Amino acid sequence: QVQLQESGPGLVKPSETLSLTCSVSGGSTSPYYWSWIRQTPGMGLEWIGNVYYSGRTKYNPSLRSRITISVDTSKNQFSLQMSSVTAADTAVYYCARESGYCGDGSCPIDYWGQGTLVTVSS
Amino acid sequence: DIQMTQSPSSLSASVGDRVTITCRASQGISNHLAWFQQKPGKAPKSLISAAFTLQSGVPSKFSGSGSGTDFTLTISSLQPEDFATYYCQQYNSFPPTFGGGTKVEI
């Protein structure tokens, strides 16, 4: 059974960089897409971006200028970096695996991490 | 971006009820639609992809239908563990987008 676990600081100061890692167990990072999604009470669920096991990335245009997603297949991990954060970036961040019959947007999610709350505050 | 509109935003139902949730896309998305279940304080759980294909381990009381712009999720006989919030997501067009959720309450 594939399991995903997010890790990283729960508190980030405004204007700094948010960094999260997702560790994958019970399966390999290849040949899948790996994504980051966040959830806030106000905005609901928002797809941030994904990375293919080869390293190819897709980013939500609304966040593209501030995010970097990367994969480390040797460690079975992938990561999210979001720069210049503000209070609006306070959210529960989920990592997820995409697998199956894909559309142009992305592929359907089959596994989710448990989520991690990141608060942006000084 | 494609807007996904779910209705109703909440509903009250009883154990044993048949429940139907609707998701409408602002433009055609073929059958590239997924459904998720989320319980309070927990991560979403994947139920259905490609509009009607159950994810592994999901009980057959859940079913999905639709294509194009209009989709439904049906729970055939509501059980206590099914009280949750349900979300749809389109992955046909970039970026993928989610509906606002339907809360199923007792």
Q: What is the full per-residue pLDDT of chain B (106 aa) written as tens digits? A: 999 999 999 999 999 999 999 999 999 999 999 999 999 999 999 999 999 999 999 999 999 999 999 999 999 999 999 999 999 999 999 999 999 999 999 8
Q: What is the mean predicted confidence (pLDDT) over A6-12?
A: 97
Closest Cα in chain A to B100: A44
- For the beta carbon of residue B23, count every other beta carbon within 10 angstroms: 29
What pLDDT was estimated at residue B8?
A: 97
Of B34, B42, B97, the CB nearest to A108: B34
> Can you give the pLDDT at residue A103?
84
Is B95's CB within 8 Å of A112's CB? no
- CB < 8 Å to B39, chain A: none
**A105, pLDDT greater than 80:** no
Q: Which of residues 20-79 of B touch A (CB under 8 A)?
A: 29-30, 32, 34, 36, 42-46, 49-50, 53, 55-56
Q: How large a percentage of chain A has pLDDT more than 70? A: 100
A63: number of Cβ within 10 Å: 17
pLDDT score, position B82: 96
Q: Do A58 and B29 touch (CB under 8 A)?
A: no
The yes-or-no verdict on residue A101 having pLDDT over 90 is no
Q: What are phi and psi of A66, to 5 degrees?
A: -115, 0
Given a cut of 80, whether residue A19 has pLDDT beyond it is yes
Q: According to the 3-state scheme, what is the secondary structure of chain B?
A: CCCEEEECCEEECCCCCCEEEEEEECCCCCCCEEEEEECCCCCCEEEEECCCEECCCCCCCEEEEEECCEEEEEECCCCHHHCCEEEEEECCCCCCEECCCEEEEC
